[in-house]
């Protein structure tokens, strides 16, 4: 969704699930339980919700999931968000997915995002999109790696629109903590399951980044961060997870990162 809310103390409340799609679940060996997600868990409480699986998508149907979210982050204060996850499949093609979200914060920030991977018939074309529209006041800490979170903090107000971009999320530091003309960023992550039905999983991750200094134009300092997280299967058809990560950076920096989908 927002493809990421980082470095925060956050509470998240899933209020409602809506699934569209029908079909019989695929039979798996007794030693391998069928995969489940939050929609399946919701059906245990509300049996009238329709089942959803990849077989239904092959018959031209769609899987749709709506997730209302409330939370708090360091850069947004309170935030209310609606996330939408959709999956569908065209003849002889890979599964197409769309993850979109809209959020409004107590800092008067408006954030609209949509990421998609749409496959044409017979996989002839793959249309990959990343749309972002933001009205986003936030603090900036200056340029370079030798900046402080308490000194020279400046309020910045900007309008932001881009089509198809990738965004770095350094879990362990507040958004925009390090800025410079050039950026080097790397991250690695190990993912593994916690339950046999694949409802819950976990990750451990580590990253490092550096920006060039304004005067020298050189990379002079590298800051590392690391952490771990929990994964909850939101939609097993589109393989979309709710990500809850906690990262640790240098100089006591730490925080919670919430995301619908993976960071990369």
Tens-digit pLDDT profile for residues 185-209: 999 999 999 999 999 999 999 999 9
- Residues in the chain, pLDDT under 70: 1-31, 49-61, 74, 152, 154, 156-169
Instruction: Note the pLDDT of residue 165.
Output: 43
String of DSSP letters for the chain: --S-EEEE---------------PPPP--TTSPPP--HHHHHHHH-TTSPP--HHHHHTT-EEEEEEEEEEEETTTEEEEEEEEEEEEE-TT-PEEEEEEEEEEETT--EEEEEEEEEEPGGG--EEEEEEEEEE--EEE--SBSS--SSSS-EEE--EEEEES------TTS-TTSSB-SSEEEEEEEEEEESSTTSSEEEEEEEEEEEEB-TTT-SB---EEEEEEEEEEEEETTTTEEEEEEEEE-STT-EEEEEEES---
Q: pTM for the full model?
A: 0.61
pLDDT at 5: 35
pLDDT at 199: 93
């Amino acid at each position: 969704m927002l493809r990421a809310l980082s470095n925060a103390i956050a509470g998240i409340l899933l209020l409602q699930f809506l699934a569209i799609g029908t079909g019989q679940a695929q039979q798996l060996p007794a030693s391998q339980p069928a995969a489940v997600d939050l929609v399946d868990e919701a059906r245990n409480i509300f049996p009238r919700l329709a089942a959803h699986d990849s077989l239904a998508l092959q018959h031209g149907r769609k899987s749709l999931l709506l997730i209302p979210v409330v939370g708090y982050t360091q850069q947004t204060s309170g935030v209310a968000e609606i996330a939408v996850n959709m999956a569908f499949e065209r003849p002889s093609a890979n599964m197409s997915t769309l993850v979109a979200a809209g959020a409004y914060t107590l800092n008067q920030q408006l954030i609209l995002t949509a990421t998609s991977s749409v496959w044409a018939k017979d996989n002839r074309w793959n249309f990959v999109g990343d749309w972002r529209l933001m009205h986003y006041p936030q603090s900036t800490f200056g340029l370079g790696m030798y900046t402080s979170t308490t000194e020279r903090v400046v309020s910045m107000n900007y309008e932001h629109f881009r089509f198809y971009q990738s965004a770095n999320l350094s879990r362990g530091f507040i958004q925009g903590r390090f800025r410079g003309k050039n950026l080097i960023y790397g991250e690695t992550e190990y993912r593994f399951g916690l339950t046999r039905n694949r409802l819950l999983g976990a990750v451990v991750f580590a990253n490092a980044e550096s920006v060039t200094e304004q005067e020298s134009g050189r990379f002079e300092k590298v800051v590392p961060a690391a952490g771990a997280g929990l994964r909850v299967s939101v939609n097993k058809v589109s393989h979309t997870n709710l990500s809850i990560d906690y990262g640790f950076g240098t100089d006591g920096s730490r925080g919670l990162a919430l995301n619908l989908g993976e960071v990369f």
